[in-house]
Each structure stands twice: as C-alpha cells, then as structure tokens.
Amino acid sequence: MKLRCVAVTVAAMLPLPLLAQTQQIRPPIALYWMSVETAGGMGMDIPAGMGGLMPPGMQGGKKMRLELGSSQQASGDAHAAHAIPPGLGMGHSLPLVTPVAPRAEHAPGGDREKEPEYQHPKGRMLIYWGCGETVRPGQPVIIDFANLNSQDAARAFRSRAISRPRGPAPGRNRTYGTWPNQEDSRPIPPAASLRGEHTISGNYSPEIRFSVDEAHDFMDAVVFDPVRKTAGGAYVVKWKPVPTATGYFATVMGQGENQNDMVTWSSSELQEMGQVLMDYISPAEVARLIHEKVVMPPQTTECTVPAGIFKSDASMLNFIAYGNELNLVYPPRPKDPKQTWEQEWAVKLRLKSTAMTLLAEREGDGRRAKNSPRERSAEPAAQPPAQADKPQTPPDAVQEGVKALRGILRF
C-alpha cells in the first residue's frame, strides 16, 4: 500500500510533458512547410538601370517557398497542388512539382575534370559587435588568413547553437514536391495575402486543410529612416516598427583599411558572426536569444554602428525581423495517454521580413549628404566661367556602393 502511494505521489510531481512522453506517437505521413518572406531589398530607391546589377537578395518583394514531403509513394506519376485563397492573387492553385534528379554525365574516355587548386585566402578578417557610438574594449577580434588554424577559425566564426527542425527534402522523404518550380515561378503580387482557407492535395499524401489568420500573413516590409552619421563618425540606423516582429538582428560587411581586409559587425551584445541568425528562427528561440542579448527585442527601433569600423560607403547592412510561426498537427493529440497519437499531417508556416541598406549618410533625394560643417566649408570655390558648363555632380551613394560591393563580394 505504501509503495502504491509513493508511486502516485511521484507521478503527480512529474511535469506534464514528461508524462506525455509515455504516449506512443506515430510521426505524420505528410509534412508541409511554408517559408514566407517579405524582402525589403535595399531599403532605398534604386536608380533606373541599377536593378539588373543587384543580386537576388538585394531585390525586394514578397517571396514564398512551399515544400511537401510524404512517407507514401505516389500512385503513378507524383502530382500535388496547393489550393490558395483569392487574396493571394495567383489563381486557384499552385503546382507542387516533384524535381527530377539530373543524370550524371561522364566525360568521353572516362576523363575527369581537374579539380581547381586550393588557394589559401589572403588578408584579414576584423570582427566587431554591439550597438553604440564607439568600439568596445577588446575589439576587434583579428583573424589573419595567412596563419589561420582550427583554433582561430573556431574563435572567428563563433555562433550560437540554434534549434532547427528539419523540413521536407527530396532525400529525406519518399515523395517530395515544391513551389516555385520549372512549371510555375511567377512572382507574388505586392498586395498578396495568405489569409483564408488552404488545401493541399495530391496522390502521395493525405489531404491537408487549414486556415491562415492575420497574425500569420505576410509581415510588413522593413522601412529604414535615412542613415545619419554622427559628429563622431558613427552611423545611426533607425527603422519603423514591424508590428508582428518577435525580434531584430543586423549585420554589416565591408572593407577595412586595405583591400584584403574584410570587416564584419553584428548588433549582438556578445561576439556573434550572425550568418546563421539571418534566417527563419522560431519565436521560442528568438526569445532565448533576446534573453542572451544576442537578438534585439521587438520594441527596438534604433541601433548605432560604432565609428571607425568601416572605411567606405560600400559597407552593407543586412537586417532581419523575425516573425511568428503557425504549427498545426492533425488529428489533435488524444487526451488519453494510452491511446496512440497517429498523426496524418503537420504544417509549419514560418515568417520573416528582411532588408538591406548601405551605411552612407543620405539626403531626401537619395544622394550622399555632407558629413559635417568642416566638410561643407571645404567645398571648392565656384568654377571659373570657362568650366561653368561642366557641373560637378556628387557621386550617388547607391551607385558607388554597388560598384565597391561587386569587388568585395565578387558578384
């Protein structure tokens, strides 16, 4: 009798998640992920003719990636489609196409192409972090590529461990379909909305039905105020609040004092390269990173990049506003822990809003502003009459920055 009472007491003291672990769970037959991004692009007006010079990441607009993975084999040729709400403005449905693995081509006579010879990188990487007017003590961390070893690499590319669930993938699921694809790669209209009823059907997964509310619609675009340079040379970056953001993070990459110096900075209070953070992150992980002072809280609307870090207007700030997630499983978990939870499908809708901007002080017309009264007083005197017909036009920060970025990032 005493033993039974002790067992009941211990069970009562256990947390509910631990008790739930005794319930048998069969993973879903179908897994459907919607990765939804609002890309603010360069966060500034792009001069005519410059759009073609921008890599895809610098171009704004609404973006979406749909992925369906199933443990079932298709009956015949695999086909599936996502029936979408009218507010998306893209017709009745989007096709989820199963990619065909390309055949491996062998060179005639069995000859193999020579692998390019490895070239040790040159130059240095200087790593900074933290918002503020001045560089903090102990910075930068300097990595000399000529003498790079495993310890230096671990110190340089230090990054937080992020919990990342694995989504559908061609090699992970028996059958897989995705959009956009070779059959349909239309851009998403600017006014598109995900709100409403969604249905995914095909010949290799159970039918999936769910609805999307306003809280899980496309996020607002990130909108920057004009970047302002302080008297001390720091750059003040301000942005409009994104209503559904769970947190913010920013990184900057640019050139140092010489051509072979790469300089990076992040808005984290702790040393953090930040590459892994410029992606979808769950609200729970964002909350943890805010507590660790790596991610900025959603109430933040300003961050100052310290003075003296970057030596040119080609320095590019990458910015992300993390969003909500919608996670659904059907059927719901049985209340009886003795009953097996046989899941048919699971849906994950994840959101983010991103943007880029150059660290260059700008005026309302998009041109570079004068930095200080001293700089303004150093302007050349009026041109002699003979040269009056050749006005001196100040360089546009966007054009100059893009030219320099092409050299730094090799795009």
Q: Is 283 exposed, middle or buried (0-12, 13-18, 19+ CB in 10 A)?
A: middle
Question: How far is Cα 62 from Cα 85, in angstroms, rounded to an integer?
Answer: 16
Task: Look at residue 38 and give its three-state secondary structure.
Answer: strand
Q: Residue 383's pLDDT is what? A: 42
For strand 228-229 and strand 235-238, is the pairing parallel, antiparallel, or unpaired? Answer: antiparallel
Task: Give 303-320 as a DSSP string.
Answer: EEEPTTS--STT-EEEEE
pLDDT 10s digits, 281-309: 999 999 999 999 999 999 999 999 999 99
Q: What angle do CA 45, 50, 53 make, to 5 degrees?
A: 125
Enter the pTM of the model. 0.79
More confident residue, 408 or 246: 246
For residue 75, how many other CB atoms are within 10 A of its CB? 10
Amino acid at 324: N
Averaged pLDDT score across all residues of the chain: 81
Task: Decide if 52 contacts 235 (C-beta within 8 A).
Answer: no
Tell me the average pLDDT across 68-87: 96
Q: What torsion do the CA atoms of 337, 339, 340, 345 make, to the nearest 10 degrees?
A: -90
Residue 338 to residues 29, 191, 316, Cα–Cα distance (Å): 21, 48, 56
The pLDDT-based confidence of 147 (bands split at 50, 70, 90) is: confident
Residue 57 to residues 33, 39, 123, 246, 248, Cα–Cα distance (Å): 21, 8, 26, 22, 18
Q: Residue 384's pLDDT is what? A: 41
Give, as one character, the DSSP assignment of residue 377. Answer: H
Q: Residue 47's pLDDT is what? A: 44
pLDDT 10s digits, 380-391: 444 444 443 333
Q: Residue 194's pLDDT is what? A: 98
Task: Give 205-227 as a DSSP string.
Answer: S--EEEEE-GGGSPPPPP-BPPP
Domain spans in the chain, listed from the N-terminal domain onward: 24-46+56-99+121-365+395-409
Task: Decide if 84 contacts 94 (C-beta within 8 A).
Answer: yes
Q: 3-state SS of 113-127?
A: CCCCCCCCCCCEEEE
Give me the sign of the Cα torsion angle 251, 252, 256, 262: positive
Q: Residue 122's pLDDT is what? A: 75
Question: How far is Cα 387 from Cα 258, in angstroms, rounded to an integer?
Answer: 35
pLDDT 10s digits, 318-364: 999 999 999 999 999 999 999 999 999 999 999 999 999 998 876 54
Tell me the average pLDDT across 371-388: 40
Order of all β-strands in the sheet with 235-238: 228-229, 235-238, 302-305
Amino acid at 290: I
